[in-house]
Amino acid sequence: MASVLVSKEVVIAGAHDRRGEMTSIDGGTWPFAVEALGSHVTIQGLRFVRPNGGAIEVNMVRGLVIADCRFEGIEPISSQDMAGAGVGIGIGISTTRKPPTPAQPGQPEDVSGSISVINNYIDAVGGTAGDLTVGVLVFSVGKPPDKAVDLYVSGNRISNVTERAVNVRQLGGRAYIERNVITTGSIVGAAGVAAPDGILVFGTGSYLVAHNSIQSDWATGAGIRVHGGFAGWPVTGAVVLDNDVNMVAPASAVFGANSAAIEIRGFAQGNVVIDNRIRGRARAALAVATRDAGIPGNSQFVSNDLEGFQPLPAGVSVQDAGTGTVIVKLGGKDK
């Protein structure tokens, strides 16, 4: 359904006019789709105004830069792949139409090399409580050793999503999710389809989630979630470092079972949460949660600052359902 299909190496760059206005693309259904197998593509300096479904979709590429673009509103469109919910995505990089599973992993080898999504402004306003709107989505990319991915999601400002601001699921390589500023907005998307998280990293891959600022207005979901959903795709060795997470659900909110500032869930081993600052209100500040048969093990929470956080059960800030969890307190104080 894309308006423009990019099938070979190219640089698409916007320019500013004499008044300093960016090159703009108004409306359109997925203005750009990238299917440039084995080629490098750059898209930079463009302004997208309320595209239908999403703005940039990438299915095949070897090396990608999406930088310094503005996304001002998204008009979701109905998706049979997501139980008929309306779906809107700012930037989608995926080799599968649905969330990948071990039985249906997509074609991760089709996207490889250095993938950079940097310094973009994404306002996903337009989604309702029946929609799923996402800022940056990356599904099933990279296949080591020769088609691995180095993913950089950095310096972006993302707001008004109804599902996840950054959603990275099943990576063959390394991901660096750093220095993004996320403000979720108050609308939560289609119930029962996907949890509303600020940042989700899911499945295999090497993940660093660092120096991000997240404000979550939701009473459900997590500010940052590290999730291993399948025994064959565990999440191991992820580092969640030096993030500011502010949970600002209304005082009247009823918190869901998955409400947490930072959560480790499911088939997850040896993940580290260190030197983060957590404020506001949620069911828990730091959570370790089982999912299906997945029991997290050897999680470490080190020197996280919970001053100013109010958990739902008074005096409880860590929910521990895993094994071998280590908690190192900040300055010896019970925070």
The DSSP code sequence of 7-63 is -S-EEEE----TT-PPEEEES-BSSEEEE-TT--EEEESEEEES-BSEEEEEEEEEE
- Please report, for residues 65, 68, 225, 271, 307, the alpha-carbon distance to residue 154 in angstroms, rounded to integers and kept in the order given: 12, 11, 18, 21, 27
> What is the dihedral sign for C-alpha 51, 165, 42, 45?
positive
* Contacts for 98 with CB less than 8 Å, ≥ 6 apart: 81, 82, 104
- Tokens at 200, concatenated: 């989700």
My answer on whether omega of the bond before 99 falls inside 30° of 0, hence cis, is no
User: What are the tens digits of pLDDT across the range 65-97?
Assistant: 999 999 999 999 988 776 678 899 999 999 998
331 SS3 class: helix
Cα gap 268→316, rounded to integer Å: 22
Cα gap 320→324, rounded to integer Å: 10
249 SS3 class: coil
Neighbours of 212 (CB within 10 A): 27
Cα gap 286→262, rounded to integer Å: 5
Residue 223, by phi and psi: left (phi above 0), alpha (psi -120 to 50) or beta? alpha
Length of the chain: 335
**Is this model's pTM higher than 0.85 or not?**
yes
Taking Cα atoms as reference points, which of 130, 131, 135, 114 lies closest to residue 56? 135
Compute and round to an integer the Cα radius of gyration of the chain. 19
Instruction: Give residue 318's pLDDT.
Output: 56
Backbone angles phi, psi at 148, to 5 degrees: -75, 165
Cα gap 131→120, rounded to integer Å: 23
Cα gap 141→100, rounded to integer Å: 10
Cα gap 51→116, rounded to integer Å: 22
Residue pointed to by tokens 């999503």: 161
- Tokens at 30, concatenated: 């997925």
Contact yes or no for 137/159 (Cβ under 8 A): no
Cα gap 269→235, rounded to integer Å: 7
pLDDT, one tens digit for every residue, the chain (335 residues): 678 999 999 999 998 888 888 999 999 999 999 999 999 999 999 999 999 999 999 999 999 999 999 999 999 998 877 667 889 999 999 999 889 999 999 999 999 999 999 999 999 999 999 899 999 999 999 999 999 999 999 999 999 999 999 999 999 999 999 999 999 999 998 766 677 999 999 999 999 999 999 999 999 999 999 999 999 999 999 999 999 999 999 888 889 889 999 999 999 999 999 999 999 999 999 999 998 889 999 999 999 999 999 887 644 455 555 778 888 876 544 44
Instruction: Give residue 325's pLDDT.
Output: 83
